[in-house]
């Protein structure tokens, strides 16, 4: 079973409109909300190795390696705000889509300095940590809405979410 996990209803709405029968869950923004939602999902439906939880939403890009409006699959996540000795780089086992593959930082606040990541978001490492602990398959798909450090007024959220919904529809109907 595919479960499409979105941080906000704003991010989920375009996909819901294209795929009204898809299993969509809104978790809330950030690591704690994501962990709590995944724990609740496990309690309610018993997540297993046959289940795929797809974390979907917008992200900011560092530099020019990823275009605004582009949809990507995250292959690794790291909580870069933790002291270096406590950081874990979570790695995706194998690509789930044909989307471009990127590395991401999970952050609590926007504009955190990056190491070698392509993008930043606020939930990804939680997904991979929970999947590792609980045994379900984790996939993260993000649409780039902005460049890190851009003013919110410059973000292209609607464009990114439209592109994200179209790519997720391909995933949903490929099953």
CB 100 within 8 A of CB 72: yes
* CA–CA dist 103, 84 (Å, integer): 17
Does 168 or 153 have the greater pLDDT score?
Answer: 168
> Which pLDDT tens digit goes with each residue over 105-162?
878 765 566 667 988 888 889 999 999 999 999 999 999 998 888 888 888 999 999 9
Give the pairing type, strands 101-106 and 71-79: parallel
In the block, which residue shows the tokens 């649409």? 143
* CA–CA dist 114, 27 (Å, integer): 25
* CA–CA dist 128, 55 (Å, integer): 10
> What's the pTM value of the predicted model, to 2 decimals?
0.91
Q: What are the residues whose beta carbons fall under 8 Å from the beta carbon of 15, sequence distance 6 or more?
A: 4, 6, 22, 24, 56, 164, 165, 168, 169
Owning domain of residue 116: 2-174
pLDDT at residue number 118: 86
* CA–CA dist 72, 11 (Å, integer): 15
* pLDDT band at 175; cut points 50, 70, 90: low
pLDDT at residue number 88: 75
Does 88 or 13 have the greater pLDDT score?
Answer: 13
For CA atoms 102, 131, 91, 79, the dihedral sign is: positive
User: For residue 107, what is the domain's CATH number?
Assistant: 3.40.50.1580
CB 60 within 8 A of CB 119: yes
Q: Give burial (CB, 10 Å; 0-12/13-18/19+) of 69.
A: middle
> Which pLDDT tens digit goes with each residue over 69-102?
999 999 988 877 777 788 778 788 789 999 999 9
DSSP sequence for 43-82: HHH---TT-EEEEEEEEEESTTSS-TT-EEEEEEEEETTS
CA angle 93, 141, 21 (to 5 degrees): 110
How many domains does the chain contain in total?
1
pLDDT at residue number 52: 94
pLDDT at residue number 109: 67
């Amino acid at each position: 079973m595919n479960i499409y996990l979105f941080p906000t209803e704003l991010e989920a709405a375009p996909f819901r409109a294209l795929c009204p029968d898809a299993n969509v869950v809104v978790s809330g923004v950030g690591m704690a909300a994501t962990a709590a939602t995944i724990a609740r999902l496990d309690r309610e439906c018993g997540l297993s190795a046959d289940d795929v939880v797809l974390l979907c939403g917008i992200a900011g890009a560092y530099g020019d390696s990823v275009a605004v409006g582009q949809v990507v699959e995250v292959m690794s996540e790291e909580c870069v705000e933790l002291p270096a000795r406590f950081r874990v780089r979570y790695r995706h086992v194998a690509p789930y889509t044909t989307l471009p593959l990127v590395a991401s930082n999970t952050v609590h606040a926007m504009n955190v300095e990056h190491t070698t990541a392509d993008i930043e978001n606020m939930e990804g490492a939680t997904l991979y940590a929970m999947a590792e602990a609980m045994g379900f398959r984790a996939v993260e798909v993000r649409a780039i809405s902005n460049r890190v450090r851009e003013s919110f007024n410059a973000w292209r959220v609607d464009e990114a979410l439209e592109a994200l919904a179209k790519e997720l529809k391909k995933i949903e109907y490929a099953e």
